[in-house]
Amino acid sequence: MAQLVKRAYKYRFHPTPEQAEELARTFGCVRLVYNKALEERTRAYTLEGRRVSYVESSARLTEWKRSGEYDFLSEVSSVPLQQALRHLQAGFANFFAKRAKYPAFKSRKKSRLSAEYTRSAFRWREGRLTLAKMDAPLAIVWSRPLPEGAEPSTVTVSKDAAGRWFVSLLVEEKISPLPPVAANVGIDAGITALATLSTGEKILNPRHERRDRRRLAKAQRALARKEKGSSNRAKARLKVARVHARITDRRRDHLHRVTTRLVHENQVIAVEDLTVRTMVKNHSLARAISDASWRELRSMLEYKARWYGRELVVVDRWFPSSKLCSACGSLQEKMPLGVREWECTCGTVHDRDVNAAKNVLAAGLAES
């Protein structure tokens, strides 16, 4: 049976100078409201031991608009400002539930520039999107169509460090599960091979960051030579950001292709519960681990499996997948990282990664 899911469709768009100016003002106001609300919440929590609610923060926003000092907050749409307070409220809820760290202040240079508009703050007519405080619709590059009849419930506008503008449309979409298949697969994540499958196949890691490392280093050297605060430094920073954006886009595209294929071909997918945050503390491997994007790989598998009626099983991180013989079940005492192939006492010769993937599958099916 088809399920109704919320799905975001992201597109590039090219604003007019007037639209770019309006959005830049909105981004600045969103950051200001978020930081001021966070400051007041922190003060109340630290000095009084009191938690400030969203309703109180919203009332304070109204006072700021009337104070005279922050009159400009009334010049932009109020919806993105209210949404900033809601995001802050969610951040504190996650913090108190011990699901996340304490909310951090938004930086003018490092934080993502974005503004979220709900249904009352935009107009959607015949595939044309017009935001509040704007007279003309956005010039969106429709790289793929929205589902037929879908209307966005939330619109998020953002600008990345490379100067590209994006709009993300959240819609409700009916997704039908894929027909059941008999195949199951275990996955051993790696660096040389992005994923080794229990079938023996190795999906190579394109190493996008490594391939563009020379171009990135050249752009970073040029940035280091520019005088701080100069227009040339801003241009050089933009070049660095564009290289990073190219790496990120190519990596994400590859991960989408890999995960979509795995979900379509297998009914049960078993993966290890890798602690990427801990693993990147190894400075010798941190760059390669980050380039492989294991966390994003698993995240994509999770939501695609949920959408299409597949099962993703996460095997305990302490499961000795590399030390265990997938043929006879005997456990080796040691298995250094340098050992890529080994022979068990039962006579079976194992490829380290393929053997680990087979054990991950067996453990996953046992838990399934």
**In this structure, are strands 140-141 and 3-13 parallel, antiparallel, or unpaired?**
antiparallel
Q: Percentage of the chain surpassing pLDDT 90?
A: 66
Measured distance CA(53)–CA(50) in Å, rounded: 10
- The closest alpha carbon to 152, from 175, 176, 129, 136, belongs to 129
Measured distance CA(39)–CA(302) in Å, rounded: 36
Which amino acid does the sequence have at 15?
Answer: P
Lowest mean pLDDT among 16-25, 68-77, 104-113, 237-246: 104-113
Domain residues of the chain, as ranges?
3-175, 184-210+237-367
Whether 276 shows a pLDDT value over 90: the answer reads no
- The closest alpha carbon to 356, from 262, 273, 272, 261, belongs to 272
Whether 122 shows a pLDDT value over 50: the answer reads yes
Whether 302 shows a pLDDT value over 90: the answer reads yes
Structure tokens at 128: 């044309």
**In this structure, are strands 311-315 and 268-272 parallel, antiparallel, or unpaired?**
parallel
Structure tokens at 135: 């007279």
Phi then psi dihedrals of residue 117, to 5 deg: -115, 130
**In this structure, are strands 113-118 and 184-189 parallel, antiparallel, or unpaired?**
unpaired
User: What is the rounded average pLDDT of the residues 208-223?
Assistant: 86
Catalytically active residues, by annotation = 188, 272, 353
* pLDDT tens-digit series, residues 154-204: 999 999 999 999 999 999 999 999 999 999 999 998 877 888 999 999 998
The pLDDT value given to residue 290: 61
User: What is the rounded average pLDDT of the residues 329-344?
Assistant: 85
The pLDDT value given to residue 283: 53
Residue 288 pLDDT grade (very low, low, confident, very high; cuts 50, 70, 90) = low
Measured distance CA(263)–CA(194) in Å, rounded: 16
The pLDDT value given to residue 280: 44
Planar angle of CA 95, 96, 99, nearest 5 degrees: 50
Q: Which residues of 235-245 are buried (b: 16+ CB within 10 A; e: fewer)?
A: ebbebbbbbbe
Strand partners, 171: 7
Mean pLDDT (the chain, rounded): 90
Measured distance CA(245)–CA(230) in Å, rounded: 23
Please say whether the beta carbons of 115 and 168 come within 8 A: no
Whether 270 shows a pLDDT value over 60: the answer reads yes
The pLDDT value given to residue 285: 54
